[in-house]
């Protein structure tokens, strides 16, 4: 039963991942990728990591929908109405893909896997939280600040009008002249 479930999820994740490059619609490609990630989340759930598995589902659904918006914004043929190829540099990517596959598969087969020592924690979510919030606290804080800086930087670069455009050089205009007024009335 467990093996059958594993095989089904593994096949779905690989096949859906491969189909991403066979369909000619950006929307279908995005949601096939989501299907692949959902199968991976199922595999994570099978290892007993309930919290991580569910969080992968949560994050991937949001990410893929947001990604669909961006992909369609930037692709020349978003809807698959005209035939188009998802491939670029086919020979180079075939070589890279084959090399990666051989390296990873060879590694999985040839490595002398260690025997499991110790037992899993009774509450894996708790153990994960304690690890992240004690030993890995510095990593997580660095990661959080870096991501936040990236978001702020991207918004600053992308914003068409900053606060000086909206409220004047002294920021003293009583209200902005935005075309679309927000809900707070600034």
Interface with another protein includes 151 (CB under 8 A)? no
Give least dist CB 96 to another protein, A.
Answer: 31
CA distance 10 to 117: 27
Q: Which two tokens stand for residue 50?
A: 């309930």
Interface with another protein includes 160 (CB under 8 A)? no
CA distance 10 to 43: 8
CA angle 15, 85, 13 (to 5 degrees): 15
Which residue in the set 15, 18, 50, 95 belongs to the binding site for another protein (CB under 8 A)?
A: 50
Which residue in the set 8, 15, 58, 149 belongs to the binding site for another protein (CB under 8 A)?
A: 58
CA distance 73 to 75: 6
Interface with another protein includes 77 (CB under 8 A)? no
Give the end-to-end CA distance of the chain in Å, rounded to a whole number: 59
Question: Among the candidate windows 14-22, 79-87, 136-144, 166-174, which touches another protein by CB under 8 A?
Answer: 79-87
Interface with another protein includes 125 (CB under 8 A)? yes
CA distance 182 to 66: 22
When the beta carbons of 22 and 97 are compared against another protein, the nearer one is 22
Binding site for another protein (CB under 8 A): 25, 27-28, 31, 34, 50-51, 54-55, 57-58, 61-62, 64-66, 68-69, 79-81, 123, 125, 180-184
């Amino acid at each position: 039963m467990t093996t059958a479930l594993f095989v089904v999820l593994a096949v779905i994740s690989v096949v859906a991942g491969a189909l991403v490059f066979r369909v000619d619609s950006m929307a279908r490609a995005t949601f096939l990728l989501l299907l692949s990630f959902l199968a991976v989340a199922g595999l994570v759930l099978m290892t007993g990591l309930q919290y991580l598995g569910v969080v992968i589902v949560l994050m991937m659904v949001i990410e893929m929908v947001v990604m669909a918006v961006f992909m369609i914004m930037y692709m020349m043929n978003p809807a698959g109405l005209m035939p188009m190829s998802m491939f670029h540099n086919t020979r180079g990517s075939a070589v890279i893909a084959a090399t990666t596959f051989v390296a990873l598969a060879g590694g999985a087969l040839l490595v002398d896997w260690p025997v499991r020592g110790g037992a899993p924690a009774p509450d894996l979510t708790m153990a994960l939280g304690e690890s992240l919030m004690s030993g890995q606290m510095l990593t997580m804080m660095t990661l959080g600040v870096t991501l936040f800086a990236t978001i702020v930087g991207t918004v600053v670069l992308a914003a068409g009008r900053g606060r000086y455009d909206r409220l004047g050089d002294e920021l003293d205009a009583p209200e902005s002249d935005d075309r679309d007024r927000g809900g707070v009335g600034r």
